[in-house]
Structure 1
């Protein structure tokens, strides 16, 4: 006897119990009873939901019946069968689904069919997805693009490139379409020379979100993308393209990319400080002993930010040879030695600090630089390292560090994906009397806003992974209480259109890399009294 006999006369608890048992047992003998309950519901939300659950369970164990119902039913039962066939990857349903997609122009129905086919997978549905890449419904287009990437359809490359190019036009570049986002990811998944050359050519797409998606896609692609990025690290490339390509090579972290970056330094592909900084930062991120030679070359540069980037990179590569080299350089004295000691403190390079601490006068000068810092976080970091070193001298130096540094009561938030930039911001802001809060991307910065933290000024980079500066500022301005906080965007951009777009999102002003500490302080002072 069926468990569903006289079901409508049962109590509520009995109905739920029976349907649970039917869903677990997946007995095909209960299918007719479930279909009757599904087509003629009891109008009890909980019971009717359990009927659907039980029907899904029974059909999941009977592919033939699910496909049979799929082909002859209409309305909500057909939709349920479409979903069951997709969820349980019934391959025999593919011909039926393809026929249904061709016979029905309703976008909601077509989306259900495409979703089911995407879950089943396989090349049989390729032509259907390809034919819907220019559908009037954006959700269908996105679904089609995602599947073309999964199926690595090279024939779709021209159409995908059109999405990205279209989003670069004067009347479209301000907003990144979801279809453009997916087109970039799809091209990366297809991974042919044509596709990857095109993606790299759009490293500096006019829309910042597209740039971020390109960067993220190439980073995920990893070593396979290095030959294409290498073409951009050249004397003929635009400054902004080289910076972004160097950043991606650093994120990828592959030794092959290190060779490209070291070659760029050795052959002096660019004399621009921003480009050199990006390359040294990337070399430090890759962090192999082979990188040490190039990093030491960076100490010849007068740019303080490059020195901080070098110290950040070297701190992960410290060995007796590195320590000896630094002792030799700093031991020569002069402005270069002072710059290096300050950079060690700014970068919180505790491993380098430990290596130099016992080097007589050098250790004393370095300790004086730590004490001179106005950043309480710097004091805490080096206090912990001194405790680890131990000994009477270390104990005496710990006593020289104040427990807390008084600041002017003002707070600043700085967002940048570069650790050395964040370290420099901390140094500049504390010296200017601000309590700094730093974040490695826009999303992390916005998390402080969600906690209702108050800031007198916000400084943000334009190009960052996860969430770029434009998106961060746009969300900031849409949040109650943050409409009037001054925002300064740090950029290497050369296109006027990018600044105009940033102003529209709510950026008050800009400062261009490279800049000095005094220039940033002066810019902040224009907005904060």
Structure 2
């Protein structure tokens, strides 16, 4: 006997209790009464909601009846049944749903049907999703692209490439369309040679968000992406493309990338400092003993930023050979020795520090450089290493390090995905009297803004994973209280249009890598007295 006999005359609490039981029991005997309550509601929001819940429960246990009800004229009932078919993956509904999609003229209704088919899955609806990849409704297009990705449809590659190419045109590159975003992710999922070569060729897409999506997609692919990225590490490749390819290879960290990166250094594919920096940093991130050869060679470079990147990489690869080479170079004295000692401190290379600490005068010079730092984090890192080393000399050296460094009252936020760049920013900012806060990407940086932290200046990279510099600055400028804070963007970009785009998001000024500490301080001084 139905539990819903005389339901309309029951009290509110009894109605809720009965509907809960019906939803749990899923007894088909209750279906007709539930359909009557659904089509002729009681006008009580809570009860009517529970009727829908109970009807969902009963239909979920009766695939045949649910599919039959798809043909009903009642629009609300059809939508409910469409959703139940998708939620519970009723395969027998696929032919009916596909016919409904073919006949649909209302985009909202078509979206409901496609959503249900996407949840059911399977290749039967592939042609339908292909046919909707150029629908006028962007949500339908996105749904179709996501399904083509799930089905790894190689036939759709030309259409997917078209989305990315159109978004690179002169009148469209300033905004990343959601369809472009999904097209890149779909191509990465399909993963054929054609698809991955195309994605890699768009590492330097004119839109920064597309660049980030490309970077993130390739990083997620991991070792699968390495052969395609290796093609970009070439003497014929443009500077910006090689930098971005090296960055992604570093993020992936696969040793199969090492030969190409080491060749780029040995054969001097580029003399540009920014390119060399990106390659050295990638070699350091991969972190194998084979890469030590190139990193040691990098110590000969005059660029301080490259030395910091090299030291960051070497710190995880210290061995007797590395120690011997460092002792040899530093022992010669001069500007090169000073540059290396400063890099050890800036990079907080505590393992290198430990290896050199017992090397007589070299250890003393290195300890002097640590003590001279104005960065509290540097003191904390090396103090911890001195505790580990132990002994009377280490105790005496710990006493030389202040327990805390008094901040200069000014605060700066530095944003970069490079560990060595963040280390350099800390060094430059603390020496200039700033209290630095650092973040690895725009999202991390914006978390400080959400906490209403105050800064006198913000320095941000342009190209970063998770959230790029332009998106971060755009969000910053839309946040109350941050409209006027000076933002300096650090970039290697050679294309003028990128700076124009950045200015539109709210960037005040630019400084191009490579730069010296004095150049960055001078740039900051233009905006902060």
**TM-score, normalization: structure 1?**
0.98
1:127-526 alignment runs, 5 A limit: 127-526=127-526
Mean CA deviation greater in 10-19 or 206-215: 10-19
Distance 2:495 2:38 in 1: 60
- SS of aligned partner of 2:472: helix
Distance 1:18 1:253 in 2: 59
Distance 1:497 1:380 in 2: 43
Equivalent residue number for residue 89 of structure 1: 89
Mean CA deviation greater in 5-14 or 133-142: 5-14
Distance 2:329 2:93 in 1: 72
Aligned-pair CA distance for 1:257: 1.1
Mean CA deviation greater in 397-406 or 413-422: 397-406
Equivalent residue number for residue 11 of structure 2: 11
Mean CA deviation greater in 317-326 or 250-259: 317-326
Distance 1:455 1:70 in 2: 59
CA-atom RMSD in angstroms = 1.1
Distance 1:71 1:284 in 2: 63
Aligned-pair CA distance for 1:73: 4.4
Distance 2:322 2:45 in 1: 71
Mean CA deviation greater in 399-408 or 295-304: 399-408
**1:449-491 deviations in Å (ceiling 9; x for gaps):** 1111111110000000000000000000001111111100000
Aligned-pair CA distance for 1:323: 2.5
Equivalent residue number for residue 40 of structure 2: 40
Indicate whether 1:51 and 2:36 are aligned.
no
Aligned-pair CA distance for 1:293: 1.2
Q: Is residue 184–residue 217 contact of structure 2 (8 Å, CA) maintained in 1? A: yes
Distance 1:377 1:454 in 2: 20
- SS of aligned partner of 1:72: coil
For structure 2, the residue ranges without an aligned partner over 5 or more in a row are none
Aligned-pair CA distance for 1:320: 3.3
Mean CA deviation greater in 480-489 or 153-162: 153-162
Aligned-pair CA distance for 1:339: 1.0
Mean CA deviation greater in 71-80 or 336-345: 71-80
Equivalent residue number for residue 122 of structure 2: 122
Equivalent residue number for residue 31 of structure 2: 31
**1:116-166 deviations in Å (ceiling 9; x for gaps):** 111111111111111111111110011111111111111211111111111
Distance 2:312 2:19 in 1: 62
Distance 1:106 1:475 in 2: 35
Q: Is residue 312–residue 349 contact of structure 2 (8 Å, CA) maintained in 1? A: yes
**1:16-56 deviations in Å (ceiling 9; x for gaps):** 22111111111111111211111111222121111111111
**TM-score, normalization: structure 2?**
0.98
Q: Is residue 187–residue 199 contact of structure 2 (8 Å, CA) maintained in 1? A: yes
Aligned-pair CA distance for 1:390: 2.0
Distance 1:88 1:265 in 2: 56
- SS of aligned partner of 2:511: strand
Distance 1:7 1:381 in 2: 72
- SS of aligned partner of 1:71: coil
How many residues are treated as equivalent by the alignment? Answer: 529
Distance 2:432 2:18 in 1: 71
Q: Is residue 296–residue 322 contact of structure 2 (8 Å, CA) maintained in 1? A: no
Indicate whether 1:106 and 2:106 are aligned.
yes
Equivalent residue number for residue 74 of structure 1: 74
**1:474-529 deviations in Å (ceiling 9; x for gaps):** 00000111111110000001111000000010000000000111110111111111
Structure 1 segments of 4 or more deviating over 4 A? Answer: none
Distance 2:38 2:313 in 1: 64
Equivalent residue number for residue 527 of structure 1: 527
Distance 2:313 2:3 in 1: 70
Distance 2:146 2:263 in 1: 37
- SS of aligned partner of 1:145: helix
